[in-house]
Structure 1
């Protein structure tokens, strides 16, 4: 079997989400922070909880996952397989996931992680796709709203992981710093709007316009502190075809059972790369 799968996801799966970041850390530390079920949800915005439920003779790990919303918790199941000791020095992880929750915008899907050692650390890569959930509404919103939001959430999560691995900054602290930064920029933008309104009303036109422009530019152009996570630090398009292909182990990875349907029924994600 070849190293990678070729081809595109089948009809209905949508465009692959790709995110890559360079992390100055050891392979061992990055593997631990990203693979341990108790550590993974701390930095990854896409998961609130991951609970392993078993492992078969082939090493495939079954798990349950949760994503908590203000008034609802989306629950699903998954199957994953990690390969920590490849001959070329890379490490890989593949997974399939599904949910029976009709409110989930993400239906059955599949993805991969690739860990590539470099002179300065590790290239950490993910690619994944899925069939939209929520019926017709989900299909309408997926390309313009849900998929871009997931790409952003994945990218900012990767930068939170980078900060944790490189400097020991806890994901909870980097999240709080991002919130403070976003609030400060929002306050500056609101101030600019109020000053523009004052200028349009004819009161202190010159001063108000200058101050409004300054506040608006500050909210837009001031670079965030290096400890504030940013999605923009990640690569969002694969630099080559090799990086965008899933490891061949995804081809034989079994689909997970749909939560609540019993062990005999499995999802039909059918999504490969």
Structure 2
């Protein structure tokens, strides 16, 4: 369970690729930050022999705010069952960050011609009771959506060769078109009395504007996204069976 009784986040997708390619795209900071909507910058920090990998992350919030934190991670690239695992703990001292600290893991499970890529993570929200309420109503659903959307963006990159940058353009273009459809439908509905009071619009219409309005809104809201557009809805948000955090996570200390 999450802080304040909120459920921990779980996201899963299946990517038609091999383990090494997926591991590289998710473990190398320069590649990770390209597809993960939650981070703008990820940098590994120097470490000694045998120590877990420490890192710094940052998220830019337009127009001028940058929220940064630190974390520690470790990975198991060779496991007896053929899977791979990585785990992390993170903390953010920035007073405007809604996330104070947290932890999570990634699992890589070979599955035929692809890999089941899944994550489970949780965090402690900031700002006391207000923060707990805001987290339950806004931040946690937003974090879940952003993670799922990013996982599908990664899938498009590795399966179809659509770069993360191109996938973002595709998504922005599609939501713009959907927004315009809704705007036109709403505007048309509002003009119905005016259009029906004069000229050729005075004749009975084959399709009343309320019907056109509902059709346009339904298409804009519920039409499946295009194949080249990332969509959070393509990811699983609940595990098929009970899952446990890996032991690797328990061995990590909280970052300081």
Q: TM-score, normalised by structure 2?
A: 0.91
Once the two structures are TM-superposed, the CA of residue 13 in structure 1 deviates from its matched residue by 7.4
Structure 1: segments with no counterpart, 5+ residues: 1-7, 258-273
Secondary structure in structure 2 of the residue aligned to 1:80: strand
How many residue pairs are counted as aligned between the two chains?
A: 247
Per the alignment, residue 237 of structure 1 pairs with 238
Contact 1:14–1:130 (8 Å) recurs in 2: no
Deviations 1:54-92 (A, max 9, x none): 234434100110000013100100000011111110000
User: 1:144 Cα deviation (Å)?
Assistant: 1.0
Compare CA radii of gyration and give the structure with the larger one: 2
Question: In 2 relative to 1, CA 96–200 (structure 1 residues): closer, same or farther, beyond 3 Å?
Answer: farther
How far off is 1:112 after superposition?
A: 0.3
Q: Specify the SS of the correspondent of 2:228.
A: coil
How far is the alpha carbon of 1:14 from its aligned partner?
A: 3.7
Deviations 1:174-226 (A, max 9, x none): 01100000000000011111111122557358443343233223213432210
Any gaps of 5 or more consecutive residues in structure 2? none
| Aligned residue among 182, 189, 207 for 1:189 | 182
Q: Which runs of 4+ in 1 moved over 6 A?
A: none
Match in the other structure for 2:9? 17
Q: Distance in 2 between matches of 1:132 and 1:216?
A: 35
**Cα–Cα, structure 1 residues 221 and 252, in superposed 2: closer, same or farther, change >3 Å?**
closer
Counterpart CA distance in 2 for 1:234 and 1:12 is 25
| CA shift for structure 1 position 111 | 0.2
Q: For residues 79-94 of structure 1, what are the structure 2 equivalents within 5 Å?
A: 79-94=72-87
User: Could you tell me how far apart the structure 1 residues matched to 2:5 and 2:166 are?
Assistant: 35
State how 1:5-154 maps to structure 2 within 5 Å.
8=1, 12=4, 14-70=6-62, 71-154=64-147
Distance change in 2, residues 1:200/1:234 (3 Å)? farther
How far residue 139 of structure 1 moved from its aligned partner, in angstroms, is 1.7
Of structures 1 and 2, the one scoring higher in RCO (CA 8 A, sep 6+) is 1
For residues 222 and 237 of structure 2, the distance between their equivalents in structure 1, rounded to whole angstroms, comes to 21
Give, in angstroms, the shift of residue 246 of structure 1. 1.1
Counterparts of 2:4 and 2:248, CA distance in 1: 22
Q: Using the alignment, how far apart are the partners of 2:101 and 2:118 within structure 1?
A: 21
